[in-house]
Structure 1
Amino acid sequence: MPAYVGIVKILNMGGSSIFNIGDVNLIYPVSNAKTFAGAGSFNTGDGLAVYNQQSVTSVNDSDLNDQNIVGNI
């Protein structure tokens, strides 16, 4: 059902936000990310001790496309 909307003031929107006024059939935000991290990077806790003698993170990516999001609804 159509509606009349008055003045709208947007102060802040995040990077993954969606702002919509009006009729919507489908809102489908899509994003992708690639994270490279070495050994012990995502460990959390109190008094954590991680011993890595040698940590090497390979960031070489031989393929061109990892997550194709075009037309992926």
Structure 2
Amino acid sequence: MPSIVGPIKINSVGGGVVNFGDAFYLSPKSTSKTNAGSGALNTGDFINTNSGINSTNPFDPDISDQNMTGNA
């Protein structure tokens, strides 16, 4: 279904997929995991993050979060 896309700002793309419009099939080509505290990964032009005391729990009981099987 066609759509109207407004102003766009892309600072960088590192091996990712950028899609504008209709898409039938998109799949990731790599996987990773990042642990960060609240407000640590905010991006943009004008960021104002006010977070009090926080902690990050990096414990993850899953064996695998996203498999690469079948993503060629």
Q: TM-score range by the shorter chain?
A: 0.3 to 0.5
Q: TM-score, normalised by structure 1?
A: 0.46
Query: Higher Cα Rg: structure 1 or 2?
Result: 1
Q: TM-score, normalised by structure 2?
A: 0.47
